[in-house]
Structure formats: C-alpha cells, structure tokens
Copies of this chain bind each other. A is one copy, B any other.
Amino acid sequence: MGENKQNDLLNQEKIISLLEQQQATKFRNVFLVLHVYEQAQIFIELTKKQRARVYRYLTPEELGATFNAIEEEPERVISYFDEMTPNYAAAVITQMYTDNAVDILAFAEKKNLANYLRLMPREKSDEIKEMLHYEDKTAGSIMATELVKIVGNQTARSGLHVLKKEAKEAETIYYAYVIDDDEKLIGVVTLRQLLISDDDALIRDIMNDQVKSVKVDEDQEDVAKTIRDYNFLAIPVTDYDNKLIGIITVDDIIDVIDEESAEDYSGLAGVDIEDSPDDPFKAAKKRLPWLVTLLFLGMSTATLISHYEQLVSEASILAVFISSITGTAGNAGTQSLAVAVRKLAYKDDDTKTIMRTIFTEAITGLVIGLVTGLTIFVIVGLWKNNFILGLVIGLAMMCAIIVANLAGSLIPIVMDKLGFDPAVASGPFISTLSDLTSVLIYFNIAGLFLSFITGTGN
C-alpha cells in the first residue's frame, strides 16, 4: 500500500500544479484517467480557486462521476454545489446516481433545492422528489432508480441488447429484472445466464422466478442481511403493489454494514466514533453531554453511599471493596449487554429468541456470580482473616452481577420493544446504572452482618 500511496500523492501534486498553471487539457488527461475514487480524494483537497477551475474544465457528466465517489459530509458537498453556477450544479446532480444525489440534496437549503430541481430534466427531478420522501435508513432511502427492466417474451439476444444499451446509465447491468405489463416484478436474469443461454431462448424460460426482493420501507439492516446471506450483487426494491421501483447494490450495502457496526460500537462506548473531530474542543463538546448525564446518574450512587455513611464510619473496611464490586458487576453487565445487542441485531427478534436470551443471561449471571463471588470470598477471607466479611463481599458481588447481567440483556430488549435503537443502551450507561444497584445490594447485605464485621474485623 505504501507504493500506491506515494503514487496518489504524486498524482495529487501534478494535478494541483496543472490547475495552478491553468492547463485545462493536460489536467483533463491526467485527472480523467484516475479511478473516480481517486479523483474524489484529490478533489476534496483542492482550494476554492482550484475547484472553480475544475468546474470550468470538466463536463457535468465527468464531475458527476467524481461526485458519485465522494465520501464527504453532505453539508460539505452542498457547499461545492453552491460554488457552481446553478445550471452547472443542476447538470452535475442530474449526472449523479439518484441515490447519491438524494443523500446530498436532503441537506440542501429549501430554496437552493427547489432551484436545482427546476433546472433539471423533469424525469430526474421527479425521481429525486420521490426519493426525498423515503424515510432515512429504509430500502427506499438507499436504492438507485437506474436499473435494467426487461419483459418475459423477449429473447436472450434482445435482453442482452437492452443490457448493452443501458450499460452506460444503469448502476449495475449484471442483473436484469423481468416485469409484467403492470410493471410488477416477476423474475430476474443475470447477465451470466443471458451470456450462456441460447440466443433465441425466451427470457421467461431462463429467468429465475423465485426472485428475492425487498419492500421500499424495509429497514436497511434487513436488506443488508439478505444481500449478505444470499451473496447477491444487488437486490430489487418493490412498492406495496409489487411494482419494481429501484435497486440496491452491494457497494451501498457495505456502507450500511459499516454504518451499523460503527453505530453499535459507538453505542457500546458511549461516543460517536464515526464523527470524532480532531479538534479536542469539538471532541470534548461531543462527549461531555453523555459524561455529565452519567455523572448525575452516578451522583445517585453517591447519595446512596452517603445514606450509609454511618455504616462506613463504623466499618471503614467496607469502603475498600466498593470499587471491586461495582467494577466486576459493571464488567459483567457490559458483556451481557454486548451479547444481547448483537443477538437482537442479527437474529430474529421473535419472542422465543428474546425469552431465550433473557433466560441464558440470567443463568449465565448466576454461574458467573457464583464463581466470582466464591473467588472473592476466599481472597477476602484469607487476606483480612475474616470470612464473615468475605461472605458479605462474595454475596454482594454475586447478587450485583446477577442484577447487572439481567439489566444488560433486559434494557436493550425493552428499548428495542419501545422502538428505540437498543445500541443506545451504552456500556457506560449500564455500568453506571449497575454501580447504583451494586452499592444498594452491598450496603444492605453489609448492614445485616455489621456486628460480625466490626466484631471480628481489624
């Protein structure tokens, strides 16, 4: 990769210097031979003045291809459009795949959006308007509308001809979808099948009529699961009349998988890792709300301990084990949370799975609680030569872990049922909550045995 990177840097320098020298033709020769991803990587490094020249040197079709591969915040891409003449911007947007254009236009100012749509061909603006209505994170919001449709009584030869004709426009030409007279999806043929079939074979005879499709409002995570399980390169999207309205390709699905896994990870850590600024003040600003919220939740633990301050002053040894108990229960709860969140995300969330998850976590918590409780009982008993104290700590740890494990699995499940993303029940939240229950359990058990602890303890 080192070598590739060096090349990329060389290309970038060359292109910038050609822009500075206003060498339009040479710039085009060097720039357009690059992969669109590389074009996009270089474009986002340019200054405003250099970008202005790019808008003059490239056709809307060429810049549209580059913009299809841009991986910037939509707000930033919008600002590029604002730099262009409205006509040129509208033409660039027209040349982009509809799904990519919509991802960006969703963040445009109303006035500018209306302007761009007005300057576009009617067909494209209608498609964009339609797609802007689909809810975020559904199949509709990530589908492209550029796809290849054929009919059943065409021959393979004619199907191949359609594919060739659409090859420049369509997002993928490796699947052609077969529709009936009502635009309803009835089958699929792969380009591979078309190639190996007899030229005169009828599409309806070679097509696969067991075509898998997704509904337009289906969750993007479910779409990702289907594409991954079936190893599809694309899947068709239908509306509720089974009319074919779009296609989702595997490259969009990779973005979905990345996004969802980053969300799960962010949830567990209690910080948005996808968008952690390099500016420490901005980073702090993003992390503080959650930390301060948890600090206040943690204050209820402090209040609780404060309530037992008399107990602590009588047996200060109790203070020694607060962090062991809260820490271990918090760790166990985090494990249980992570397992439950993943099971909810990747298995079917029917009642049976849920009940089994809760049951598994409850028994797992019991076993883990028993083993760690017994361990700390022995350690404390030997260390402090006080097995009553050991019993208190061991019992408290066991109960605290059982509660933390149950909370770790129940809270994401309840959040899921209430319609929230279960990943929001973050690790820090579970461990802060578990601090509270652990302390409550600990001091209640300790209170019962107080005379034994102070009687024989140090």
CB distance from A313 to the nearest CB of B (A): 4
Q: When the two chains form the complex, which single residue of B273, B292, B312, B379 contacts A371, counting CB atoms closer than 8 Å?
A: B292
A selection of 16 A-B contacts at a CB cut-off of 8 Å is A69-B231, A164-B195, A167-B195, A174-B191, A227-B254, A233-B233, A250-B250, A250-B254, A280-B363, A280-B366, A291-B372, A295-B372, A298-B324, A312-B312, A326-B327, A331-B428
CB atoms of B168 and A196 under 8 A apart: yes
Residues of B within 8 A of A230 (CB): 35, 37
Given contacts A191-B191, A319-B309, contact A324 B302 (CB under 8 A): yes
Task: Tell me if A17 is interfacial: C-beta within 8 Å of chain B.
Answer: no
Given contacts A323-B301, A331-B291, contact A269 B195 (CB under 8 A): no
**Interface set of A (CB-CB < 8 Å, partner B):** 1, 4-5, 33-35, 37, 69, 71, 160, 163-164, 167-168, 173-174, 191-192, 195-196, 210, 212, 218, 222, 227-231, 233, 250-251, 253-255, 257-258, 261-262, 264-266, 268-271, 273, 276, 278-281, 283-284, 287-288, 290-292, 294-295, 298-299, 301-302, 305-306, 309, 312-313, 316-324, 326-328, 330-332, 334-335, 337-339, 342-343, 348, 356, 359-364, 366-368, 371-372, 375-376, 379, 427-428, 431-432, 435, 439, 458
| Distance in angstroms between the alpha carbons of A228 and B264 in the assembled complex | 20
Residues of B within 8 A of A261 (CB): 257-258, 261-262, 264-265
CB distance from A28 to the nearest CB of B (A): 16
Given contacts A280-B360, A291-B331, contact A379 B299 (CB under 8 A): yes
| Distance in angstroms between the alpha carbons of A271 and B366 in the assembled complex | 17
Given contacts A265-B265, A324-B301, contact A273 B167 (CB under 8 A): no
CB distance from A330 to the nearest CB of B (A): 7
Q: When the two chains form the complex, which single residue of B266, B309, B348 contacts A316, counting CB atoms closer than 8 Å?
A: B309
Residues of B within 8 A of A195 (CB): 160, 163-164, 167, 173
CB atoms of B269 and A337 under 8 A apart: yes
CB atoms of B348 and A284 under 8 A apart: no
| Distance in angstroms between the alpha carbons of A280 and B212 in the assembled complex | 36
CB atoms of A291 and B332 under 8 A apart: yes
CB atoms of B210 and A192 under 8 A apart: no
CB distance from A17 to the nearest CB of B (A): 20
Q: When the two chains form the complex, which single residue of B33, B284, B323 contacts A322, counting CB atoms closer than 8 Å?
A: B323
CB distance from A374 to the nearest CB of B (A): 10
Given contacts A222-B1, A319-B319, A364-B287, contact A295 B375 (CB under 8 A): yes
Given contacts A326-B323, A326-B327, A335-B269, contact A212 B35 (CB under 8 A): yes
Smallest Cβ-Cβ distance to A264: which chain B residue: B265
